[in-house]
Amino acid sequence: MKEILTNNRDETQKFAALVAALSSPGLVIALNGDLGAGKTTFTQGFSRALGVTERVKSPTFNIMNTYHTHHFPIYHFDAYRLEETGAQDQGFEDYVGTDGVTLIEWPQYMKDLLPNNRLELIFTRGKYDDSRKIQINGVGSAVEIERQL
Ligand code: ADP
Ligand code: MG
């Protein structure tokens, strides 16, 4: 487990760009943290670093958005609404961990679909300022990414 501290959204997006540079198809990134912690901000920085120019926002209502890059597709999930319905039988397994990189906000609501190899990030808001603590835990083969960050 590693840990970094960012002081503003730019720093979180710079960190996301680093993660993007180490990413390859099949990677799943679980973005843990409360509302406003910076999960979507991270995804924006990640996507922009790979050349996505369209606006990246939380796919709360449609659960998943796809962004195309020159490298691989980005599957961006926001599982928040699955708390009540569950993630079963919606075809999500056709995306998670397949040909693209998958970023999942509220991964605790998609537990059954999380692969063993994944990068776990935990975002925690600073109490008195804009800082965010980001804990990094590479599970399985993603331990190599944690090592390089
Ligand atoms: P989440 O997707 O986790 O609910 P968002 O990324 O949508 O959170 O919102 C985070 C908000 O906090 C944004 O308005 C962003 O500009 C702001 N912010 C302030 N400081 C930071 C920081 N260090 N890292 C990320 N976001 C930050
Ligand atoms: Mg969000």
CATH number of the structural domain spanning residue 99: 3.40.50.300
pTM: 0.97
Pocket test for ligand 1, best of 6, 9, 43 (most atoms within 8 A of CB): 9
Angle (deg, nearest 10), helices 9-21 and 39-49? 50
Domain count, the chain: 1
User: Is 91 among the domain residues?
Assistant: yes
Buried b (16+ CB within 10 A) or exposed e, 40-69: bbbbbbbbbbbebeeebebbeeebbbebee
How many of the other CB atoms lie within 10 Å of CB of 21?
Answer: 11
Sequential pLDDT tens for the chain (149 residues)? 999 999 999 999 999 999 999 999 999 999 999 999 999 999 999 999 999 999 999 888 889 999 999 999 999 999 999 988 888 888 999 999 999 999 999 999 999 999 999 999 999 999 999 999 999 999 999 999 999 99
How far apart CA 98 and CA 75 sit, in angstroms, is 10
Residue 2 is assigned to a structural domain of this protein: no
Q: Using the 8-state DSSP alphabet, how is residue 12 labeled?
A: H
Ligand 1 first shell, C-beta below 6 A: 6-9, 11-12, 33, 35-41, 58, 105, 130-132
134 part of a folded domain: no
Question: Could you tell me which residues come within 8 angstroms of residue 148 by beta carbon, excluding any fewer than 6 positions away?
Answer: 22
Asked whether residue 135 is domain-assigned, the answer is: no
Please name which of 91, 110, 83 lies closest in space to residue 28, comparing C-alpha atoms.
110
The residue to which tokens 């990246």 are assigned = 56
Domain that holds residue 74: 7-129+141-148
User: Cα(99) to centroid of ligand 2, in Å?
Assistant: 23
Is residue 1 included in any domain, yes or no?
no
12 within domain boundaries: yes
